[in-house]
Amino acid sequence: MKLRRWTSTAAAVAVLLGLSSLTGAASASADEAAATGYVALGDSYSSGVGAGDYAGGGCKRSAHAYPNLWKAANSPSSFDFTACSGARTGDVLAGQLGPLDSSTGLVSISVGGNDAGFADTMTTCVTRGQSACLARVQKAREYVENTLPGKLDGVYDAIAQRAPSAKVVVLGYPHIYELDGGCFVGISEKSREAINSASDALNEVTAKRAADHGFSFGDVRPTFSGHEICSENWWLHSVTFPIDESYHPTAAGQSGGYLPVLEGLA
């Protein structure tokens, strides 16, 4: 009798444990099913500066930006577009993460170019000649290699903490110039090569930090190949007006350069 009672008790415990496991699995599945919202973070390359048709406010969020295009094609349960022109890593931390929570299923972000002084680098290269350009590019590379990794870690840690169920896609930056292309005026070919090389360094650091956080890195250099400045079919503005749209993707760059990369990883 004692043996049978022990056996019955053990069986009951096993059933309870099994039910508990099933309940936990069901709860996890429910959480995953509920995590279907999309939050688009980042800088001007994500807000769509250069693509036109902007929403109100100073962030220049374009109707043609890849987050809006992805939303229109996929109809997420919720959509929050907080990317903003000029944003640095600190701006993302301070003002863009509010919508992230357990219901967030997808996060996209591009950030780091402004921290490294992208705008100032391009201004220097255009207005001050090759020597000053190469020196400014080198300064930007040193920042990217030595300081930016810690800044990216801070942003990525915060995203992972606030949106634990989300697929996070970190998007990189295109090459600005096609080398040996069709530009016969403007900055020197050596300056163009240095700027592209700095973009490579920025992408490499960003990809490594993303991977170390378990995030996906979206390399847009292949999709922009053949569409850089000096190519036959530019998807990037050169110097233009308004001036802040210079060296940013056009609407074609958002739809043809960025959107396919996000679609392939989301």
Contacts of 85 (CB under 8 A, 6+ apart): 43, 44, 47, 49, 58, 59, 60, 244
Task: Using the predicted structure, report yes or no on whether residue 69 has a pLDDT greater than 70.
Answer: yes
C-alpha count within 13 angstroms, C-beta hemisphere, residue 47: 25
Q: In percent, how much of the chain has pLDDT > 90?
A: 86
* Cβ–Cβ < 8 Å for 145, 197: no
- Phi/psi region, residue 93 (left: phi>0; alpha: psi -120 to 50; beta: rest), is alpha
Assess whether 44 carries a catalytic annotation: yes
Q: Which of 8, 27, 44, 103 is catalytic?
A: 44
Catalytic entry in 64, 175, 227, 248: 248
- Beta carbons within 8 Å of 209's beta carbon, 6+ residues apart: 149, 152, 153, 156
pLDDT in tens, 96-126: 999 999 999 999 999 999 999 999 999 999 9
Does the pLDDT value for residue 21 go beyond 90?
A: no
- Whether the model clears a pTM of 0.85, i.e. scores above it, the answer is yes
Report which of 116, 134, 130, 237 is spatially closest to residue 176, judged by C-alpha positions.
237
* Parallel, antiparallel or unpaired: strands 37-42 and 104-110: parallel
CATH number, span 35-265 = 3.40.50.1110
46, two tokens: 């994500």
| More reliable by pLDDT, 217 or 32 | 217
Q: Structural domain boundaries of the chain?
A: 1-34, 35-265
Catalytic residue flag (residue 75): no
Mean pLDDT over residues 197-216, rounded?
Answer: 98
CA–CA gap between residue 203 and residue 217 (Å, rounded)? 9
Residue among 73, 163, 146, 51 at smallest CA distance from 109: 163
Which has the closest alpha carbon to 44: 257, 249, 260? Answer: 249
Does the pLDDT of residue 30 top 90, yes or no?
no
- The per-residue pLDDT for 180 is 95
pLDDT for the residue 35: 82
Name the residue with higher pLDDT: 226 or 3: 226
Strand order in the sheet with 37-42: 79-81, 37-42, 104-110, 167-171, 216-218
Q: Residue 22: pLDDT above 90?
A: no
